[in-house]
A and B are shown apart, each in its own frame.
Chain A
């Protein structure tokens, strides 16, 4: 298992968090066609390499985080509060 350094709680085991998946830009729900919306819901790049993803520290500070992780080595490059930039 891996350690994720939470900006508020420090390094914690990954199973304290909920993994919410890679970040994909959300289309405007008012304007998106059904196909665009379903693409957003279902399609994933699922890269083997550095990805930007959303985690939730459910057993700690209960905040949403933006994490950059390498999906082959599981190295973590950065963890920041969600919405603080660096998101696609």
Chain B
């Protein structure tokens, strides 16, 4: 009884979280439908931000030209544009071809196909006929640039066509289209009932519910009457009262959008986004959207802080320290031990920072806590316990910079959030330039960083000398230092503490962390993941996440997923502790070496990966020799320091030095791998994004460039310049 109650509670919590996510995503990146009139371009550019997609209707009286012209102009201004193609306005196939050429030249990849009103001007009486022409012409390149083709859905029926006919038409259009936008509607119940009917009939296209923006009521009524959505206008009238409906304040879709999110939340495709009919009121609609988004974000934050209040009990207070010190009493376990359950909602393979962070954010941000992390050895036994713990966000591509910047922000707050001292230490990060070519790339990197609001600048050798007095900045050096890329927010952290902190907090929220539990097989059937085989028996799960870094090829192979990954060892070394003298992190790409001083006073060194792929973590003398000679080139005074230890960890290298995140062709099998020599700093943001991906079924924008499919599509990310020296 209590069990069903608590799982019902879990379910409703998860659902609530999904609704909020859905609402936020829908309000953040909606589609605005605008009319191709004079002044529309200005209204859009003045008021609408670029993350909103703009769809341009076709006017039966004025033909396709104004639609195309406005679409081209908005695309030039940097908008994602969707022109409406009205079948009845298209004369013949060559007209269609011309239009698609213009559309493709404007960089537009998405069109919306409708029948259009009035008598056909040419050979296409309805949208189906046009879609078929598109499909048949595909062989010789017709519309080959299109990625999306939308068609209309009619939750309230159509004034001239029967429901059965409408459904049959949709089924016929389905193979040549990729999404559905519904006709204007005012009742979430009507939309969700219609979605259910369509799904039952076999229509599986993602749905964008269409709602009116903030518009004058009279205009709204007129439009509604014309397109025959009488039923929901009656609904509107009943709920708002005729007077309010006609009041000058105008209609606001707040309630409708919220209810749509709550009814359609369980399946991501039922509300793939929001389509807003602006009906000429672009500015007012945009004002409304901002307010609504702000309110949603506040609600999300409130929800999070409410959950955070039940965060791990603060066992590690100063008082507790004194008490334990005086009494000699043992500390309680930081995370609990459990017998594995028969099944979990989510199984995460790999107990490094990525796996543990994903589990933590699933539980805290999404209320999904029936989660297990399976680790074949002890947590942090992989790269997460072996890295040199350097954090930075001065990458080379805009995607990279934004992504790592978010991670740094999370790291800065992590100690407080987890009530665990992760010893984040902001040091400043210097990448030395020994050649004009590297100075040039650094200027480029600095500009990319600044554009994303990340602090980076190129400094000269004198400034370098001031920051790091012991560096050999003389021109007599074998590789003289010409300058450096200086990144003040960079720093170091205590890597083990991060792993332990996440494990402890996740465990407090109900996540099971199973150490000494090796995954030996993955059960897949019908293209879906069913669970895993482990050294402690089988565990069922509809979602399995591969977060095993150096071992990730082996885990993916168990699910039948091939990967562009090669495993290389990366070595590091540490000296005896000395008094603090090195504040910043110093990196030299040319000399393949980087160093920092820990809080304990040791100097930690790292270098590039070993010269050949291997799963062996044995250190080598070659590495140490090479490292020592390079370090002495940079800082001759270190010659008297003794090395205490050296070690190696496994790195999952990808062809483009960027990670692989998100879904795979096996449903329910997700990857968060390809972290190579630089993935520790990405732990928090990856955990957050993977948790969102799992909870919502959608790939967050922040990681959309990192999908596995990019290799088959040839869309590699160019991060080599900023990530090739390990760290």
Complex CA gap A42/B712 in Å reads 9
Q: Are B613 and A21 in contact (CB under 8 A)?
A: yes
Instruction: Determine which of B616, B621, B623, B711 lies in contact with A42 in the assembled complex, contact meaning CB atoms within 8 Å.
Output: B711
Shortest distance between the CB of B624 and any CB in chain A (Å): 11
Residue of B nearest to A41 (CB): B655
Instruction: Determine which of B567, B612, B714 lies in contact with A14 in the assembled complex, contact meaning CB atoms within 8 Å.
Output: B612
Q: Are A71 and B714 in contact (CB under 8 A)?
A: no
B139 within 8 A of A: no
Instruction: Determine which of B562, B615, B620, B711 lies in contact with A48 in the assembled complex, contact meaning CB atoms within 8 Å.
Output: B615
Complex CA gap A4/B68 in Å reads 65
Q: Give B689-727 interface residues, CB cut-off 8 Å to A.
A: 711-714
A39 within 8 A of B: yes
Residue of B nearest to A48 (CB): B615
Complex CA gap A5/B563 in Å reads 31
Q: Are A74 and B562 in contact (CB under 8 A)?
A: no
Complex CA gap A74/B562 in Å reads 23
**Size bracket of the A interface:** 20 to 34
Q: Are A74 and B564 in contact (CB under 8 A)?
A: no
Shortest distance between the CB of B554 and any CB in chain A (Å): 6
B119 within 8 A of A: no
Q: Are A38 and B712 in contact (CB under 8 A)?
A: yes
B553 within 8 A of A: yes
Q: Are B615 and A71 in contact (CB under 8 A)?
A: yes
Q: Are B611 and A15 in contact (CB under 8 A)?
A: yes
Complex CA gap A73/B614 in Å reads 8
Complex CA gap A18/B613 in Å reads 11
* Contact A39:B712 (CB < 8 A) given known A1-B621, A15-B622: yes
* Contact A45:B553 (CB < 8 A) given known A1-B621, A38-B712: yes
B181 within 8 A of A: no
Neighbouring A residues of B379 by C-beta, 8 Å: none
SS class, residues of chain A in contact with chain B: mixed
Shortest distance between the CB of B646 and any CB in chain A (Å): 13
A62 within 8 A of B: no
Complex CA gap A72/B551 in Å reads 12
A46 within 8 A of B: yes
Shortest distance between the CB of A59 and any CB in chain B (Å): 12
Complex CA gap A14/B616 in Å reads 15
B565 within 8 A of A: yes
Neighbouring B residues of A13 by C-beta, 8 Å: 622
Neighbouring B residues of A44 by C-beta, 8 Å: 553, 563-566
Q: Give A37-81 interface residues, CB cut-off 8 Å to B.
A: 38-39, 41-48, 71-74
Complex CA gap A74/B616 in Å reads 7
Complex CA gap A39/B665 in Å reads 15
**Size bracket of the B interface:** 20 to 34
Complex CA gap A1/B613 in Å reads 12
Neighbouring A residues of B618 by C-beta, 8 Å: 74
Q: A13-35 interface mask toward B, CB cutoff 8 Å, 1 = contact, 0 = none?
A: 11100110110000000000011
Shortest distance between the CB of A23 and any CB in chain B (Å): 13
* Contact A43:B616 (CB < 8 A) given known A14-B611, A15-B611, A34-B714: no
Shortest distance between the CB of A19 and any CB in chain B (Å): 4
Q: Are A38 and B562 in contact (CB under 8 A)?
A: no
Instruction: Determine which of A19, A34, A41, A72 lies in contact with B612 in the assembled complex, contact meaning CB atoms within 8 Å.
Output: A19
Shortest distance between the CB of A24 and any CB in chain B (Å): 11
Q: Are A42 and B655 in contact (CB under 8 A)?
A: yes
Q: Are A38 and B711 in contact (CB under 8 A)?
A: yes
* Contact A38:B614 (CB < 8 A) given known A44-B553, A44-B564, A46-B566: no
Residue of B nearest to A42 (CB): B564
Complex CA gap A43/B616 in Å reads 21
Complex CA gap A74/B567 in Å reads 13
Q: Are A21 and B711 in contact (CB under 8 A)?
A: no
Q: Are A48 and B554 in contact (CB under 8 A)?
A: yes
Q: Are A46 and B622 in contact (CB under 8 A)?
A: no
Instruction: Determine which of B553, B655, B711 lies in contact with A46 in the assembled complex, contact meaning CB atoms within 8 Å.
Output: B553
Neighbouring A residues of B554 by C-beta, 8 Å: 46, 48
* Contact A1:B567 (CB < 8 A) given known A38-B712, A42-B655, A43-B562: no
Given A18-B611, A42-B655, list of 8 further CB < 8 A pairs?
A21-B566, A39-B712, A41-B655, A43-B562, A44-B563, A48-B551, A48-B554, A74-B614
17 of the cross-chain contacts (CB-CB < 8 Å) are A19-B612, A21-B613, A38-B714, A39-B562, A39-B712, A44-B564, A44-B565, A46-B565, A46-B566, A46-B567, A48-B551, A48-B567, A71-B613, A71-B615, A71-B616, A72-B614, A72-B615
Seen from chain B, the residues whose Cβ lies within 8 Å of a Cβ on chain A are 551, 553-554, 557, 562-567, 611-616, 618, 620-623, 655, 711-714
Seen from chain A, the residues whose Cβ lies within 8 Å of a Cβ on chain B are 1, 13-15, 18-19, 21-22, 34-35, 38-39, 41-48, 71-74
Complex A-B, nearest 3 residue pairs according to Cβ-Cβ distance, in ascending order:
A19-B612, A46-B553, A42-B564
